[in-house]
Amino acid sequence: MMAQNGILPNFTRPLLAAKRFPLALLCAVAAAFVVLVDEHDWQIVGLPDSVFWSKHAAEIFATLVAGYFLFVSVHLLIEFGQRYIGLAVAILGLALLGCLLAFSQHGLFFAMPGTLLLAMAAPFLPLQASNAVVWNCNHQALIGGFFSLLAGFLLTMAVYILYWVLRELFDIPRLDFIFSDVPAMAFCILAGWLTLGFMPSRQSAIAEMRPGRAVAFIASYILVPFIIIYTLVLYAYAAKIAAAGELPRGVLVNIVGWFIGAGIATYLVAYPLRDEGPVWVRLFQRWFFPAVILPSGLLLWSISIRIADKGLTESRYAVVAFGLWALAMALLFSIRTASSIRWLPASLSVILLLASFGPWGAEQLSVRSQFHRMESWLIENGLLVEGKARIGAATLSRGDVLVLQDYADFLIKRGEAARMQVWFEGSAMTPDFSDAAATAKSFGLE
């Protein structure tokens, strides 16, 4: 029988959460296990050795976190009556995560937030769900997730304090494993399990937005005024650089990125107050997205300058994708003010998941960009002529050698060292691409 409406009954019935989301809970337990195996160097029959875990624990952990949110999405789709879509999402999602784990570890760090946003939007995409239903379900889940993480934090601190008291009073031996094992179990297992208890059901998908007094107060008197002032500061800076004919500073990427992210989060939190809140909240809800158009342009302009100077990396790719998404959403919500808020997480989820793989993805585009920059740098410094390496053909400063090592390190860490092999075909020596320093030595540089 499904849990009753509201947060408290779901929270007090963890067995029901385990029954609703068994695969998501299994991912949470497995994530804790990965942390414990990596920390303790356990040798378990049938499992890889400690060297494997030290190299791949982070990627496996990220895969399990993404799997947790993927299975939440699938179970919610099925519960909301979209069985076949849910099964399709499960098959495609598992195939994607498996490929990323095997071939593109950096893509996993796009897939993790992508699957989280998918869980926020997936149950409502095939349905004509009202904004009230979307807001209520996500409000319930996010508030539940926050308190679940808080519970994990409090449990961790309680164990730490008890350990300290016992050490002081009874001089018990040091138990360093507490500092890794307790957080792993508290945040992965306990918080992951409790969060599942807050997941909405069809019965809890009510069509009336009910923000609590605390949420309304924080949104009206802290978040919205902060974003309004932040907006005015950014527009003043835009006027300043326009008057002076300056290019935007590199730090603007972080400043504008945080503004857009915090602004959209505030817009969603304050959404129930758009008609009945204080006047400044109603004005904010009406004019926030039109006001985002200029900062989005500044963000894209600023990151384009950095890419032109340093080339593309996964983090710069993420900024470009985020800037384009923000600009698209700003235009959409400015032109069609009645657009459903479900498209905010849904569209960003699609972008992040697409960015995680393929020749258009963040890793492959970044690898190609840095490889071509490395090739141009070698030609410019006389170390590459007609596509062939000229070993020891130039004497470079230590700074120049570090530049070469940075390029090499980028490719090696992404398993793309073989791209450099073509430069040494026909050479009498065998190049060593085991690390950046060895790669520099292969070009005759120390």
β-pairing verdict for 388-389 and 384-385? antiparallel
Sequence-separated contacts (24+) of 234-242 with Cβ below 8 Å: 234/259, 234/294, 234/295, 234/298, 235/291, 235/294, 238/294, 238/295, 238/298
pLDDT at 10: 45
How far is Cα 70 from Cα 81, in angstroms, rounded to an integer?
17
Length of the chain: 446
- Give dist(CA 241, CA 98) in Å, integer: 47
Residue 7: the pLDDT is 45
- Give the per-residue pLDDT at 52: 67
Give the pLDDT of residue 279: 96
- pLDDT less than 50: residues of the chain: 1-11
Q: How far apart are CA 50 and CA 95, in angstroms?
A: 26
Q: Domain coordinates of the chain in residue numbers?
A: 7-197, 213-357, 363-442
Tell me if 165 sits within 8 A of 171, measured CB to CB.
no
Tell me what pLDDT residue 250 has.
66
Tokens read off for 143? 């508030």
CA-CA distance, 348 to 342, in Å (whole number)?
10
CA atoms of 112 and 96, how far apart (whole Å): 12
- Provide the pLDDT for residue 214: 87
Q: Give me the pLDDT at residue 50, please.
A: 61
Residue pair 352/110 in contact (Cβ under 8 Å)? The answer is: yes
pTM across the whole model: 0.89
